[in-house]
Amino acid sequence: MNINALTYAVGAILLGAVGIVFHDFAMQWQPVPAGIGMRTQLAYLAGAVLAAGGAMLLAPRLERAGALLLAGFIGLWMLVVGFGSGAMTLYFQITIAEASRPEERGAALALGGMGWSLSHLSTPLLMGFLADRYGIVEAFYVLGGLALACAVLIAWMRQWAFQGRPSVRPA
C-alpha cells in the first residue's frame, strides 16, 4: 500500500471516529440542521461508513470495495451539498430580483452574480492566507471587516451602475 492510500484510509477512520465520539457529523458536513429527524443516528451511520470504508482500504482483499464505498458515500454527500448550494443560489437571485426595479433587474442580477462568483474564489484563499499568517480568530475579524467594506462598496456600485438611467417608479 502506498503512502497516499494509507493516509486516506487513516483519515477516513479518524474522521468516522470523531463523528461517532462527538455524536455529530464530520466537520466538513457541518452544519447539519438540528431539526432533522434521527440526526444523531444518521451521524452515527455516517461515522461508521467512514470508519468502515477506511478500514476496508487497509485490507488488500477489501481495498476496492472500501474505495467504492467511500466514493459512493462522499458522492452522495456532494449531491446533497450541490442541491443546497443550488437552493441558496436561487434564493440569492430571487432576493436580488425582488430588491431591484424591473428596468434595473438585469444589471442588478449581473452585478450580484459577479460578486457571488468572486466571493467563492477569493474568500477561501484570503481566509487561508490570513489564518496561516495571523491566526484563525484574527482572520475572521479581518474577513468580517472586509465583508462590511464590500457591503458599502456594493451600495456605491449600485448607484454607479445605474447612473444616468431613467428612474421609473410604479405609481
Query: What pLDDT, on a 0 to 100 scale, did the predictor assign at position 112?
Result: 84
Q: Are residues 72 and 119 in the same domain?
A: no
Assess if residue 92 is contained within a domain.
no
Q: Are residues 47 and 14 in the same domain?
A: yes
Assess if residue 88 is contained within a domain.
no
Q: Are residues 158 and 114 in the same domain?
A: yes
Last residue of one domain, picked from the residues 31, 52, 81: 81
Measured distance CA(67)–CA(120) in Å, rounded: 29
Query: What pLDDT, on a 0 to 100 scale, did the predictor assign at position 24?
Result: 84
Query: What pLDDT, on a 0 to 100 scale, did the predictor assign at position 31?
Result: 64
Domain that holds residue 117: 102-171
Last residue of one domain, picked from the residues 33, 51, 81: 81
Query: What pLDDT, on a 0 to 100 scale, did the predictor assign at position 36?
Result: 80
Query: What pLDDT, on a 0 to 100 scale, did the predictor assign at position 58?
Result: 95
Q: Residues in the chain with pLDDT < 70?
A: 27-31, 158, 161-171
Q: Are residues 110 and 153 in the same domain?
A: yes
Assess if residue 91 is contained within a domain.
no
Assess if residue 114 is contained within a domain.
yes
Query: What pLDDT, on a 0 to 100 scale, did the predictor assign at position 25?
Result: 81
pTM for this prediction: 0.57
Number of domains in the chain: 2
Closest CA to 162 of 119, 99, 90, 89: 99
Measured distance CA(86)–CA(91) in Å, rounded: 9
Q: Are residues 15 and 64 in the same domain?
A: yes
Assess if residue 95 is contained within a domain.
no
**Alpha helices (H) in the chain, listed in sequence order:** 3-21, 39-58, 63-99, 105-134, 136-161
Instruction: Check if the beta carbon of residue 36 is closer than 8 Å to that of residue 49.
Output: no
Q: Are residues 48 and 108 in the same domain?
A: no
Assess if residue 11 is contained within a domain.
yes
Query: What pLDDT, on a 0 to 100 scale, did the predictor assign at position 2?
Result: 82
Q: Are residues 72 and 120 in the same domain?
A: no
Query: What pLDDT, on a 0 to 100 scale, did the predictor assign at position 117?
Result: 84
